[in-house]
């Protein structure tokens, strides 16, 4: 309520909102209604809202989330399609695909390590010709799967990421490679873990440990490594600095095992032990390499006594 201009009587003031302005009407018995227009103090906020709301509506209408970034992620092969035939990844091997931040992919093709360049744009991907080491694995099907996998990588043109799954498709839109996100295993300690030999790497071949034999290694905190060489117990001194490793000449007991090939395997293992220069641990896997970085012995954690 307000005062009349002459008599001081109270009159009703009426405010009307029109667009972005407030219009004030003051009925009066002594004069025509006074029309006064003032700009809202909240005008800047309304203007901002008018700009922001269409943007939000546009984003909501598209329903499109930002494309997941592949760089810095790691994946493990679960299946593939080769010549129109679906196949599951062999359980005896692990095929991996790691996207680096430098435009390169690396991983294990099941037997050999491989590497290639890659480029992404949205869901499109281009993978360059892959290079790899040149070892041969005797486990049935491993080399065939490796060849198929490396060939399919070069045919990939689009990616689809759904949660912890990655699919690569070819130019026809056919899914050719399927992966699950790699979950890094808990890192096992070098010292004190019971390591069981999984494979030898000699020349250009990779060989599994003979059936019926077990080769082990336990690195003690006293600088001694000991275990079973397949027939005899062995022992040696070792020194470790960072990932550098040096193992002295190994001694062993002198039993003879009559099973064909066991003594030759033991001799090969003990000779390779002395060539170790570096080691790497990935979860429950231990790899020993020579001075050139070439893998020679691959171990897995075991609960068996060494």
CATH 2.40.128.270 for domain 74-181, yes or no, is: yes
Query: How do residues 63-72 score in pLDDT, each as one tens digit?
Result: 554 556 898 8
Burial of residue 221 (number of CB atoms within 10 Å: 0-12, 13-18, 19+): exposed
Query: How do residues 214-247 score in pLDDT, each as one tens digit?
Result: 999 999 999 999 999 999 999 999 999 999 999 9
Put simply, whether the predicted model's pTM sits higher than 0.85 gets the answer no
Can you give the pLDDT at residue 52?
52
pLDDT category, 170, cuts 50, 70, 90? very high
Q: Is 124 helix (H, G, I), strand (E, B) or coil?
A: strand
How far is 118 from 130, CA to CA, in rounded Å?
A: 10
- Torsion over CA of 114, 118, 120 and 125, rounded to 10 degrees? -70
How far is 230 from 210, CA to CA, in rounded Å?
A: 9
Chain-centroid distance of CA 127 in Å reads 17
pLDDT category, 1, cuts 50, 70, 90? very low
Chain-centroid distance of CA 172 in Å reads 27
What mean pLDDT comes out for the span 245-260? 94
Cα 16 to Cα 5, 25, 46, 102, distances in angstroms? 22, 8, 17, 63
Can you give the pLDDT at residue 186?
80
Query: How do residues 115-149 score in pLDDT, each as one tens digit?
Result: 999 999 999 999 999 998 888 888 889 999 999 99
Can you give the pLDDT at residue 43?
46
Chain-centroid distance of CA 20 in Å reads 54
What mean pLDDT comes out for the span 103-112? 92
Asked if residues 123 and 158 have their Cβ atoms less than 8 Å apart, the reply is yes
How far is 133 from 151, CA to CA, in rounded Å?
A: 15
CA–CA–CA angle 293, 193, 78 (5° rounding) = 65
How far is 14 from 127, CA to CA, in rounded Å?
A: 71
Q: Is the dihedral of CA 101, 104, 109, 112 positive or negative?
A: negative
More confident residue, 155 or 305: 155
How far is 51 from 206, CA to CA, in rounded Å?
A: 65
Can you give the pLDDT at residue 288?
93
List % helix, strand, coil for the chain (3-state, nearest 5).
Answer: 15, 45, 40
Can you give the pLDDT at residue 185?
73
How far is 176 from 149, CA to CA, in rounded Å?
A: 9
Chain-centroid distance of CA 134 in Å reads 24
Of 96, 104, 100, the C-alpha closest to 127 is 104
User: Cβ contacts of residue 167 below 8 Å, gap of 6+?
Assistant: 159, 160, 175, 177, 178, 179
Can you give the pLDDT at residue 50?
54
Can you give the pLDDT at residue 244?
95
What are the domain boundaries of the chain? 2-62, 74-181, 195-301
- 195-301, CATH topology level: Lipocalin (2.40.128)
User: What is the average pLDDT value for the chain, to the nearest integer?
Assistant: 82
Beta-bridge mates of residue 165:
162, 180
Can you give the pLDDT at residue 220?
96
Q: How far apart are the first and last CA of the chain?
A: 97
What mean pLDDT comes out for the span 262-287? 92
Fold match between 74-181 and 195-301? yes
Question: Is a pLDDT exceeding 80 seen at residue 165?
Answer: yes
pLDDT category, 202, cuts 50, 70, 90? confident
What mean pLDDT comes out for the span 65-93? 87
Asked if residues 149 and 177 have their Cβ atoms less than 8 Å apart, the reply is yes
């Amino acid at each position: 309520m307000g005062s009349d201009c002459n008599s001081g009587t109270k009159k009703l003031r009426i405010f009307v909102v029109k667009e972005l302005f407030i219009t004030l009407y003051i009925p009066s018995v002594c004069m025509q209604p006074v029309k006064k227009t003032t700009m809202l103090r909240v005008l800047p906020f309304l203007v901002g809202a008018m700009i922001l709301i269409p943007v939000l509506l546009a984003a909501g209408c598209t329903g499109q989330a930002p494309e997941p970034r592949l760089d810095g992620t790691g994946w493990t092969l679960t299946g593939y399609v080769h010549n129109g035939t679906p196949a599951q990844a062999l359980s005896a091997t692990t095929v991996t695909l790691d996207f680096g931040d430098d435009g390169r992919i690396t991983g294990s093709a099941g037997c050999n390590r491989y590497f290639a360049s890659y480029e992404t744009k949205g869901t499109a991907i281009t993978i360059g010709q892959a290079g790899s080491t040149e070892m041969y694995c005797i486990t049935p099907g491993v080399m065939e799967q490796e060849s198929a996998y490396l060939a399919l990588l070069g045919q990939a043109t689009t990616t689809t990421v759904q949660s912890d799954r990655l699919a690569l498709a070819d130019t026809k839109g056919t899914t050719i490679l399927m992966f699950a996100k790699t979950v890094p295993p808990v890192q096992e300690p070098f010292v004190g873990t019971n390591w069981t030999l999984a494979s030898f790497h000699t020349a250009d071949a990779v060989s599994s440990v003979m059936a019926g034999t077990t080769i082990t290694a336990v690195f003690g905190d006293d600088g001694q490594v000991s275990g079973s060489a397949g027939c005899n117990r062995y022992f040696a001194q070792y020194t470790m600095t960072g990932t550098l490793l040096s193992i002295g000449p190994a001694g062993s007991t002198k039993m003879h095992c009559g099973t064909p090939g066991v003594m030759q395997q033991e001799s090969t293992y003990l000779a390779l032990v002395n060539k170790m220069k570096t080691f790497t641990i990935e979860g429950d896997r231990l790899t020993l390499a020579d001075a050139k970085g070439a893998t020679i012995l691959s171990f897995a954690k075991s609960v068996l006594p060494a």
